[in-house]
Amino acid sequence: MNQIKAIIFDFDGLILDTERYEFEAWRSIYKAHGVQLNLSDWIPHVGAANEQFNVYAHLSERSGIPVTREEMRPRLLALMQEMLEDVPPLPGIEEYLSTAKRLDMRIGLASNSNLDWILPKLDHIGLTECFDTIVCRDDVSAPKPDPAVYLTSLQNLGVTAKQAFAVEDSPTGVQAAKNAGLFCVAVPRPMTKDLDYDHADMRLESLADMPLAKLLDAIPSP
């Protein structure tokens, strides 16, 4: 019998389609600085933390205009808030959360983003209270693909890696989950679907394609 007791979700691109809108917001900011942000520059770094791809430094270098996080982040957040105003959770997310609750599973969120990015968006779509723990970049010493956010999530949830599984949309996130010893389901977005997900244990086009109960049956027992 399957011993899975917890599910841990990524946030950006998995719960909410922030990545597409973040790219559009940054593209608008780059344009205002007289330069173009190419999708080919952006895609390889989806799911990475700022120290892995410092977009502020990249914009400064491309435009020749010094840009700081302190100056630009409020502008980015305002643009994102406007773009995401009426954007619902991605397909299958609400069903997975409600089914997990019904099955008495513990639910975690593990993200490379900061809490000031995650919480307002979770609050806006009414999902904050669904999570038993939220572990983000603020809480750990190293970002994904380091397993720290997942190891901390497991500790907070009171389960072992064999008693949980992760759901991710980026190769960086999948690697972090695997580094923590978790079974990992990849659910790429259209923006990232051509990246390498060979290290994932399972790949779905959407969580709506497979109900949680069926997915649990497909996870091998330890």
Alpha helix segments (H runs only) across 90-141 = 93-102, 115-124
Q: Which residues in 16-127 belong to E strands, given as ranges?
A: 106-110
SS3 164: strand
- Among the listed residues 10, 17, 132, 169, the single catalytic one is 10
Q: Is 10 a catalytic residue?
A: yes
* Catalytic residue from among 12, 17, 132, 146: 12
Q: What is the β-pairing status of strands 164-168 and 183-186?
A: parallel
Nearest CA to 165 out of 118, 95, 100, 89 is that of: 100
138, 115 Cβ separation under 8 angstroms: yes
Query: Is 116 annotated as catalytic?
Result: no
Nearest CA to 169 among 148, 154, 191?
A: 191
Active site residues: 10, 12
